[in-house]
Amino acid sequence: MSELKGRRWLTGIWMAAAVMLTACAGPWQPIQGDLTTPQWSIAAPQGWMHLSMPESEMLTKNGPYLEYMLIQSRPLEKKFRFTKQVLDPGMLPHEVAQLIVDNLSSDPRFRSFQLLASEPAAAANRTGFKLTYSHLDKYGVAMKTIYYGFLLPDRFFNIRYTAAQRHYFEQGLPAFNTVFSSLQLPCDLKS
């Protein structure tokens, strides 16, 4: 009997996953070439899908519940969801990093949040920070994230990669490193 229950449970999981993927299939588009917005440009990984949102772009290969890259450009004056703090253009990179960590660790969806590293970083001729952290998602899956952030004159730009620690994180990391290396920000873009 327990084998039958196990099969039913597994079948239910697969059916729920199929429904969720079907529901999300509409706005997801296959990546064809580079992705460029007025705020940034990247060499996008081929074979991945992307979802465009007003202030961000999400990329995934196997589905956003397994791994995703998020590229976001948001106004400095926009309050962070959980701490209600705002960024100031005069903040130093480590001050911005601490504000981000405060907001992430206040997110009730991030159970067992653990900051693994916080260090200076640079990309696209900008000085910023790199965070590495882990947490459990709402299903108890261990997730790991690499998060880069940079202050621009009127915006906060961040690019991150999140994946299930088991298997998917290491599998997608080379693609993320390629995307990050290709990043260009506004004054670096050719007109």
Residue 46 sits in the same domain as residue 7 = no
Report DSSP state, residue 78: S
Residue 13 sits in the same domain as residue 83 = no
Residue 69 sits in the same domain as residue 99 = yes
Q: CATH number, domain at 183?
A: 3.40.1000.10
Which is nearest to 179 in space by CA: 66, 30, 40? 40
pLDDT at 156: 95
Give me the average pLDDT of each 10-residue run along the chain (191 residues). 53 47 65 88 94 94 95 94 95 97 94 97 93 95 97 94 96 96 73 36
Which is nearest to 17 in space by CA: 70, 68, 62, 69? 62
Residue 177 sits in the same domain as residue 98 = yes
Domain containing residue 14: 1-28
Residue 3 sits in the same domain as residue 81 = no
Residue type at position 54: P
DSSP reduced 3-state for 165: coil
pLDDT at 33: 85
Residue 52 sits in the same domain as residue 90 = yes
Task: Return the percent helix, strand and coil in the chain, to nearest 5.
Answer: 30, 35, 35
Spatial distance between the Cα atoms of 142 and 116, rounded to a whole number of angstroms: 14
Report how many domains make up the chain.
2
Spatial distance between the Cα atoms of 105 and 120, rounded to a whole number of angstroms: 20
pLDDT at 187: 61
Residue 65 sits in the same domain as residue 152 = yes
Spatial distance between the Cα atoms of 166 and 71, rounded to a whole number of angstroms: 23
Token code pair at residue 59: 């990329």
pLDDT at 13: 52
Residue 9 sits in the same domain as residue 100 = no
- Residue located via tokens 């060499």: 43
